[in-house]
């Protein structure tokens, strides 16, 4: 069981960390922070200069924490938040299947981190090494709730920011493009 949890944590966590590094540093074929921020602006996650580094940091740090098995439910909550915002702003309108740009992959990743928050990081983890016992249904549900609320709040804040900008007469080239 410990080996299986380590493998799951490492693969899922390092995948998230890599995705965050793409956003923040432009590695692994990523856009980097400036282009990611501009993309976030276009998607309505405004201001992109705020949301892009927060999303990138949540993925990078949350992914590394998950891979190491450190404060697993908190890492799960951060990662669920990023996936929630991604689904709402990009993938939901495309349906389920990732081949059509849908949310299939995001849902699988959320399910994986939810499960890890529920069962715990396992014996081969920093949580175990430090005697941190943050596992169980309550922790998993808490991570899910915090992630869903956080992701929805980020999207709502971005949309409110856009409305305030539009109402104040912000130049049209700074407004998000309709999808």
Q: 109-155 pLDDT, tens per residue?
A: 999 999 999 999 999 999 999 999 999 999 999 999 999 999 999 99
Mutual angle of helices 2-25 and 104-119, in 10-degree steps: 130
Write out residues in the chain with pLDDT < 70, as ranges.
170-179
According to the model, what pLDDT value does residue 162 have? 86
From residue 15, how far is each of 21, 47, 80, 104, 130 by CA, in Å? 10, 26, 14, 16, 25
Question: What is the pLDDT, as a whole number, of residue 166?
Answer: 84
Q: Which two tokens stand for residue 23?
A: 């956003």
Q: How far apart are CA 32 and CA 172, in angstroms?
A: 24
Alpha helices in the chain (DSSP H): 2-25, 32-43, 48-68, 72-86, 104-119, 126-129, 137-167
């Amino acid at each position: 069981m410990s080996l299986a949890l380590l493998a799951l944590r490492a693969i899922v966590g390092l995948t998230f960390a890599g995705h965050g590094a793409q956003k923040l540093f432009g590695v692994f074929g990523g856009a980097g922070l400036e282009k990611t921020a501009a993309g976030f602006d276009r998607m309505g996650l405004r201001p992109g200069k705020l949301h892009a580094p927060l999303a990138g940091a949540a993925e990078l740090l949350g992914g590394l924490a998950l891979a190491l098995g450190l404060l697993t439910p908190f890492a799960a909550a951060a990662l669920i938040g990023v996936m929630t915002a991604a689904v709402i702003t990009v993938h939901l309108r495309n349906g389920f299947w990732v081949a059509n740009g849908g949310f299939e992959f995001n849902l699988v990743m959320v399910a994986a981190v939810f499960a890890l928050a529920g069962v715990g990081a396992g014996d081969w983890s920093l949580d175990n090494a430090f005697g941190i016992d943050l596992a169980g249904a309550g922790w998993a549900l808490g991570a899910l709730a915090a992630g869903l609320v956080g992701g929805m709040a980020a999207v709502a804040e971005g949309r409110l920011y856009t409305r305030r900008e539009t109402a104040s007469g912000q130049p049209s080239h700074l407004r998000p493009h309709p999808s």
